[in-house]
């Protein structure tokens, strides 16, 4: 009897995470949501666990605990020097840095800043925890041992992730043991707002059931990022979508609001802040803020907002000290920003709390206005807002105003926190729903351009020594051979490009080639400003074959959720030991 296969989606968020699954062959065909380490599962659970990892060995060892347990263990262990707590570490994949050009060189910092370790280790330990939780739960509830090879995995990623970040997540999943080889088709990466599309656009949703030919937008507002996609609905059954604007967004998530509160707290406490900066006390205050933040209604809220700072008593702070802090902070400020309260209870005026949200909301508004101005987005039928940050009333108002839409066009999705993880389960079998996408970049490879003496750029490059000689002819180095241009429509499955490569010398035992990208539509050379080497593929040559048959064919697929490369030999057999190293460093300029 065949073992039923299971699709498991992991929504690994910046601040909160969950996983969901669906077992083939079940009559009800439900998608059930599971919170790691919880015994419960439900099709309508609304709780996700904190994305927090407590790791031993000063951050380089094994996982001690994950989620709320990690935070509680960290708070209770009172400065265990060997343990490090990591939160918000997905941010480190969003910010390109020239000193972090390879997967293993991306670093992350622990809470409190005492430990800096490779992000790959933290991510791998976290995904391994999810994998083990999945297998244990499915084995326990299914009455049989579930093997990792009977699970099809979907891992969600922000739409603004570049190729490097996506490859990083695949590498972490591979090292966590979710798949047995890097390019395994048992793992699919799913863009978070695309997952939300599948959850929101259904035949039983009256807002989309008759929406063929209309444009819709999904805005995924999470803790770390805000991701925006826009599609035309070609059909609802079967669901077929065409992307009308390339994914957009930025680092405008709710953690930016948390950072603004932290800056205020530092200013309010003054020197006392330094005493708690690397302690569990600050962590506790911040978590209290995060819980209360979700209930804030903006200027329509109550006149004051209360904050309990009683934990400061453990640092020799007295009631009089608190009064002095209030008096010092209010000095010179307008009365609308005065803080009040008694003893360790501090009250903040609504205008002050609103100011913590304002810069982030302004960034989101600017992004939406730019998308509307630069794209062909007109007459949006519906805007679906998902993610934990979407519950913020002020955010929904910003979205409506930024897109200049009537209130009824901006729609709250049922269980917005879980739309992504549920849609990601659907994605494994319904990825073809996305009939076409817009290319975010221009992609290509380098090649030698035949020298043209009438071309001033060619003459300049020859004078700079950027030429080579083959068969008595001069070629200009580093030409950009364009495979796909930014803004082009890409069919489902991406665009496959094949190119043959061969050795130049009989003694040559290996080869490599680079893949480049740029935001320009018509680059001429791969070393122009703005061009990046996004990956380099290396592969061995079969020295047992005749020289003429040692060549290979590189197959590159552009435009899907991932950039994929496959190397086949002269007889079309895949070379499995080919290695692709992703990079986010810019190509050198001269």
Residue ending a domain, choose from 185, 217, 240: 185
Same domain, 178 and 260: no
DSSP 534-561: EEEEEEE--TTS-GGG--EEEEEEESSS
Domain count, the chain: 3
Q: Is 248 in the same domain as 181?
A: no
Name the DSSP class of 191: E
State the Cα angle at 41 between 35 and 44, rounded to 5°: 95
**369-421 residue pLDDT tens:** 988 887 767 788 889 999 988 888 888 889 998 888 887 888 888 888 899 99
User: How is residue 430 annotated by DSSP?
Assistant: H
Asked if residue 219 and residue 151 are part of one domain, the reply reads: no
Q: Find out whether the peptide bond into 91 is cis, omega within 30 degrees of 0.
A: no
| DSSP symbols for 432-478 | GGEEEEE-SSEEEEEEEEEP-TT-HHHHHHHHTT-EEEETTEEEEEE
Distance CA(36)–CA(55), nearest Å, equals 17
pLDDT in tens, 47-60: 788 999 999 988 88
Structural domain contains residue 571: yes
Same domain, 213 and 180: no
* Tokens, residue 263: 């800056």
Residues 208, 234 share a domain: yes
Q: Are residues 393 and 505 in the same domain?
A: no
Based on the domain organization, do 206 and 352 belong to the same domain? yes
Is residue 153 domain-resident?
yes
Write out residues in the chain with pLDDT < 70, as ranges: 1-4, 25-28, 37-46, 78-80, 96-101, 300-303, 376, 584-590
pLDDT score for 338: 92
- Residue 461 inside a domain? The answer is no
Distance from the Cα of residue 25 to its chain's centroid: 32
**HSE-up of residue 453 (Cα within 13 Å, Cβ side):** 2
Query: 20: part of which helix (H) or strand (E)?
Result: strand 16-23
Residue 27 is assigned to a structural domain of this protein: yes
CB 137 within 8 A of CB 103: no
Measured CA distances, 59 to 14, 52, 334 (Å): 18, 12, 45
Residues 13 and 129 in one domain: yes
Q: Indicate whether 325 and 390 sit together in one domain.
A: yes
Query: Where is the domain boundary, 130, 163, 185?
Result: 185
Q: Evaluate whether residue 259 is within a structural domain.
A: yes
Residue 575: predicted pLDDT:
74
Domain contains 465: no
Please report the pLDDT score of residue 590 as a whole number. Answer: 33
Write down which residue in 125, 155, 185 finishes a domain: 185
Determine contact, residues 33/422, Cβ cutoff 8 Å: yes
What pTM, to 2 d.p., does this model score? 0.87
Same domain for 157 and 224?
A: no
User: Treating both helix axes as pointing N-terminal to C-terminal, what angle do 254-269 and 350-374 enclose, rounded to 10 degrees?
Assistant: 150
Within a domain: 381: yes
Same domain for 48 and 170, yes or no, is yes
Same domain, yes or no: 347 and 405: yes
Residue 142 sits in a domain whose CATH number is: 3.30.420.40
Element (H, E) at 282: helix 280-293
DSSP 314: G
Residue 208 CA to residue 216 CA, distance in Å, equals 9
Residue 462 lies in a domain: no
User: 524: domain range?
Assistant: 439-446+485-582
Dist CA 496 CA 514 (whole Å): 16
Measured in residues, the chain has a length of 590
Quick one: pLDDT at residue 397? 87
Exposure string of 154-166, with b = 16+ CB inside 10 Å and e = fewer, is bbbbbbbbbbbbb
């Amino acid at each position: 009897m065949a073992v039923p296969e299971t699709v498991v989606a992991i929504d690994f968020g910046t601040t909160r995470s969950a996983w969901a699954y669906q077992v083939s062959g079940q009559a009800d065909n439900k998608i059930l949501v599971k919170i790691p380490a919880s015994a419960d599962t439900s099709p309508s659970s609304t709780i996700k666990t904190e994305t927090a990892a407590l790791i031993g060995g000063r951050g380089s060892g094994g996982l001690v605990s994950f989620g709320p347990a990690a935070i509680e263990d960290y708070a209770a262990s009172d400065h265990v020097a060997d343990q490090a707590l990591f939160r918000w570490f997905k941010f480190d994949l969003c910010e390109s840095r020239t000193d972090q050009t390879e997967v293993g060189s991306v670093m992350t910092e622990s809470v409190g800043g005492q430990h800096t370790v490779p992000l790959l280790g933290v991510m791998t330990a976290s995904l391994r925890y999810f994998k083990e939780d999945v297998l244990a739960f499915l084995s326990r509830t299914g009455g049989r041992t579930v093997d990792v090879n009977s699970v099809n995995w979907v891992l969600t990623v922000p739409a603004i992730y570049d190729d490097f970040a996506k490859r990083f997540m695949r590498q972490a999943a591979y090292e966590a043991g979710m798949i047995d080889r890097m390019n395994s088709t048992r793992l699919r990466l799913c863009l978070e707002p695309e997952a939300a599309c599948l959850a929101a656009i259904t035949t039983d949703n009256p807002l989309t059931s008759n929406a063929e030919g209309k444009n819709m937008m999904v805005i995924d507002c999470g803790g770390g990022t805000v991701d925006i996609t826009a599609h035309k609905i070609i059909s609802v059954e079967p669901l077929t979508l065409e992307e009308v604007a390339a994914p957009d967004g930025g680092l405008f998530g709710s953690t930016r609001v948390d950072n603004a509160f932290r800056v205020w707290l530092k200013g309010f406490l003054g020197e006392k802040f330094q005493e708690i900066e690397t302690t569990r006390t600050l962590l506790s205050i911040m978590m209290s803020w995060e819980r209360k933040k979700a209930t804030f209604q903006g200027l329509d809220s109550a006149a004051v907002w209360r904050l309990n700072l009683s934990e400061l008593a453990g640092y020799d702070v007295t009631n009089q000290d608190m009064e002095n802090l209030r008096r010092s902070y209010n000095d010179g400020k307008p009365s609308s920003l005065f803080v009040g309260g008694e003893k360790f209870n501090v009250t903040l005026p609504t205008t002050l709390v609103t100011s913590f949200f304002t810069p982030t909301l302004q960034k989101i508004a600017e992004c939406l206005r730019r998308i509307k101005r630069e794209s062909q987005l007109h007459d949006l039928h519906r805007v679906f807002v998902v993610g934990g940050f979407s519950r913020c009333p002020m955010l929904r108002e910003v979205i409506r105003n930024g897109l200049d839409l009537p209130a009824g066009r901006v729609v709250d999705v049922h269980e917005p926190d879980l739309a992504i993880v549920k849609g990601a389960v659907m994605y494994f079998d319904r990825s073809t729903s996305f009939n076409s996408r817009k290319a975010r970049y221009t992609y290509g490879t380098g090649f030698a351009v035949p020298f043209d003496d009438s071309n001033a750029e060619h003459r300049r490059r020859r004078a700079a020594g950027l030429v080579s000689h083959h068969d008595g002819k001069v070629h200009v180095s580093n030409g950009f051979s364009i495979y796909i241009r930014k803004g082009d429509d890409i069919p489902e499955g991406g665009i496959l490009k094949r190119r043959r490569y061969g050795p130049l010398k009989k003694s040559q035992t290996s080869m490599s080639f680079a893949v480049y990208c740029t935001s320009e539509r018509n680059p001429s050379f791969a070393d122009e400003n703005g061009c990046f080497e996004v990956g380099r593929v290396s592969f061995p040559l079969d020295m047992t074959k005749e020289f003429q048959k040692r060549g290979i064919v590189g197959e590159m697929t552009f435009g899907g959720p991932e950039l994929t490369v496959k190397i086949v030999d002269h007889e079309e057999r895949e070379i499995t030991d080919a290695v692709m190293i992703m990079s986010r460093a810019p190509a050198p300029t001269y």
